[in-house]
Amino acid sequence: MIRVVRSAVIDAPIERVWAVLRDFNSHTAWHPAIAESAIENDEPSDQIGCVRSFSLKDGNHIREQLLALSDNDYVSTYCILDATLPLSRYVATVQLKRITDGERTFWHWQSTFDTPRGREQEFADLVGKGVYEGGFEGLRSYLRRRPQGRVPGTPAIAGSSGSMATEGVVAARFGNADVLEPRSLQAPAPGPGEVRIRQTAIGVNYLDVYVRKGEVRLIEPPAPLGLEAAGEVLDVGDGVAHLLPGDRVAYACLPPGAYLGVRTLPAAQAVLLPDDIDDETAAAVMLKGMTAEYLLHRTHRLRAGETVLVHAAAGGVGLLLCQWAKALGARVIGTVSSEDKARAARAAGCDFVVVGRDYRFAAAVHEASGGRGADVIYDGLGEAAARENLEALALCGHWVCYGHASGPIERLRVEELGAKSVTFSSPVLFHHTADRAVLTDMASRTFEALRQGTIRLDIRHRYPLTAAAQAHRDLESRTTIGPLILLP
């Protein structure tokens, strides 16, 4: 009895590798030694007992039967029924395992068989090197291959450079919402490490307003705005193994440029969407949901029993912060500008809501917390709320300023923090998502929170992409509740 074992590391997530290997008849597509193959009797290729009948490029012919297949353990076991090669009692097992620190896969391939005396080494090499090692390389290049024109519905590619015409909305210059203009733009073919996505939904964020005004200098007009979207992969550049055409993906990243029908961007920023997360939800939750995730778990590790003050509690991030903080066992106080928004904030789990447009809330926070004040403030308001925030904080409280809808905080003296041992944080989402492992962790926790019902999205504001200017006007008028999305 000969035993052959080979193993390798594949630079792609286990789901991607398994999607190929679980298909018992896929080897013609990726294995360099296979000439042609068919499943006998038209059986499905995941039918236990099915037989693949195939010929090798060297002219040999083999029939193999699928003995076991497990989507749970990522295992496939099969045997040779008959072959023109002298291999008998051949049983092989392919097993994949997840490499949890990085999106890679461990692939273990082993078999036992008999062969005529004196030819053991010859066939051990044929199987180990020719079949298994050749298969590792074949699958690697199959996953790296740049598929061309394989996605149904892909528009004709314009120009010799492979760029694709697409509609978009640009800020023609810095200014009010009127500077947003629809334009016809190009989505270049993906270069190394890039992916091109047909976008189906685009998230609108208050940060887009800052960028449009030039307050946060992230673009040089004319240039498209937008930081998050969801859609379908059209094609990928060299060296991208974790995505394939047809994959549903979403992203939230810099630089701006999401207000497009088709966009090309670094593939490392795109995360695969689980089947149960739809495109609109993903486009609305990537930036805001991952922001809530890191604010509640990384910037400040929120503990049960703490008092949280959430400003703009009915805003895109605010609603998610309220829901998630409540689920973590915190006492949640929110500030909003209208009764309508107060109802939305209460429905999101706010225990106490301060309604007003005058940025006066410190007294109400102390009252609602039995005089203690807020242990942590999630502040997207900035300057207009700064003095009241200091007033509203508990001793040793944590002031987390992640936005400045009313303008940047102009002056904050260290002594003012010291007066209450206040910790001040000014965190930025993109510093967290720069590390892909952190990004995928944040995204999967956000999707899990959606799945568990810990956070819920009620998308009430949808606009055609070309109406982005109206979306901005509505957002700035402080009349919207929850997320806004654009539909290309």
Chain positions contacting another protein, by CB under 8 A? 5-9, 97-102, 104, 106, 108, 133, 136
- Count CA within 13 A, CB hemisphere, residue 411: 1
Least Å from the CB of residue 76 to another protein? 18
Least Å from the CB of residue 274 to another protein? 18
Least Å from the CB of residue 317 to another protein? 22
Q: What residue type is 49 in one-letter code?
A: G
Nearer to another protein, 101 or 276 (CB): 101
Nearer to another protein, 101 or 220 (CB): 101
DSSP conformational letter for 40:
G
Least Å from the CB of residue 133 to another protein? 7
Nearer to another protein, 92 or 233 (CB): 92
Q: Answer for the pair 271, 439: CB distance below 8 angstroms, yes or no.
A: yes
Q: How many Å apart are CA 483 and CA 488, to the nearest integer?
A: 16
Contacts of 347 (CB under 8 A, 6+ apart): none
Least Å from the CB of residue 8 to another protein? 4
Nearer to another protein, 136 or 174 (CB): 136
Least Å from the CB of residue 405 to another protein? 32
Q: Which residue has the tokens 């040999």?
A: 60
Nearer to another protein, 130 or 214 (CB): 130
Q: 10 Å Cβ neighbour count for 177?
A: 19
Nearest in space to 318 (alpha carbons), one of 286, 341, 300: 341
- Count CA within 13 A, CB hemisphere, residue 273: 24
Least Å from the CB of residue 98 to another protein? 6
Q: How many Å apart are CA 462 and CA 467, to the nearest integer?
A: 10
Nearer to another protein, 105 or 199 (CB): 105
Q: How many Å apart are CA 309 and CA 182, to the nearest integer?
A: 39
Handedness of CA 442, 272, 70, 64 (dihedral sign): negative
* CA angle in degrees (0–180, nearest 5) for 46-48-52: 70
Least Å from the CB of residue 152 to another protein? 36
Least Å from the CB of residue 406 to another protein? 36
Nearer to another protein, 135 or 237 (CB): 135
For the purposes of burial, counting CB atoms within 10 Å of the CB of 116, is it exposed (0-12), middle (13-18) or buried (19 or more)? exposed
Paired strand residues for 65: 51, 79
Q: How many Å apart are CA 158 and CA 212, to the nearest integer?
A: 30
